[in-house]
Amino acid sequence: MSGVTVTADTVRQLRERTGAGMMECKKALVETGGDLDAAAELMRKQGLAKADKKATRVAAEGVIATARSADGLSAVLVEVNSETDFVARGDDFTAFAKDVAKLALNARPADIDALLQLKLPSGETVDERRRALIAKLGENIGVRRFEHVESSGELGLYLHGTRIGTLVAIEGGDSVLAKDIAMHVAASNPRHLAASDVPADDVARERDILTEQAANDPKNAGKPAQVLAKIVEGKLSKAVSEITLLGQAFVKDPDQTVEKLLAGAKAKVLRFARLEVGAGIEKKKEDFAAEVKAQTEAQKKKDDADKKDPG
């Protein structure tokens, strides 16, 4: 196939169809005898192979993308991951994340597997587009999780940069209150809504720990058992408050709890959701200087190749 003539226009068409680099497109066209459709299919297969090879690499960077319905009462958060922040800031990656969020909002998939099989406006499934991006950008990319929240009242949505997103559905109150609670959830990261939502096993485990600490504290020497029990329950109540939305001190006014803030507005939280990029993913330690150097060298090679063969 070395004698095949590949025109600049054919290369341009293949680049528009695949989003791949010029040199990759030219190589695929040469291998397929200049057949545009065959070249596109070859690149798709090569992209799938590259994606599979990169599937085990840790992708703990990325963005939280959001989408909200026209009436403002339904919204989603979606975590889309990459290996580096460099890729996460790119236009291709952010556009993909936004498209996935819109699709999750409109189609309401049951889980991530269902979301990955839904079709984007381009006709590709989310997973096919994800794999194509892996081939193009050279990093493992994943759609990790999403949260969908609906409200019959106000729905607060808050994004802290691109790394933390929250949704809060409230009954009563107004849009300002809903947004304030969403900001609080982003800052304070409550694990549960109310004390009654904390699993009994977690409470029992914490009580055991506090009981042992109280018994071993020299300051408690000689105190009656009932006094120690009250000390333990007081500390337990504080510990539970610190991990529940209603029990936490409101971040914009620490003198009152979120529960008191809501009571004053005659409102209540129905549900909240919070996603943070990379939370729970074990990240590998990176040499940042080496990473930047590698990215710079890769870009230089690409620029040099483009200058030598502009198509």
pLDDT tens digit sequence for 197-226: 999 999 999 999 999 999 899 998 889 999
Superfamily of structural domain 1-54: Ubiquitin-associated (UBA) domain (1.10.8.10)
CB 59 within 8 A of CB 81: yes
pLDDT for res 290: 63
pTM of structure: 0.74
57-150, CATH topology level: Tetrahydropterin Synthase; Chain A (3.30.479)
Per-residue confidence (pLDDT) for residue 184, from 0 to 100: 98
The reported pLDDT for the residue numbered 1 is 45
User: Which residues of the chain form CATH 3.30.479.20?
Assistant: 57-150
The SS3 assignment for 118 reads coil
CA distances from 56 to 71, 117, 295 (A): 40, 21, 20
Residues in the chain where the model's pLDDT stays below 70 = 1-3, 18-21, 44, 46-56, 283-295, 298-299, 302-303, 305-311
* Mean pLDDT estimate for the chain: 88
**DSSP alpha helix (H) spans, the chain:** 8-18, 22-31, 36-54, 85-88, 91-107, 112-117, 126-137, 175-188, 200-216, 225-242, 258-264, 288-308
Q: What is the pLDDT at residue 98?
A: 97
Domain with CATH 1.10.8.10 in the chain: 1-54
**What phi and psi values does residue 163 have, to the nearest 5 degrees?**
-105, -20
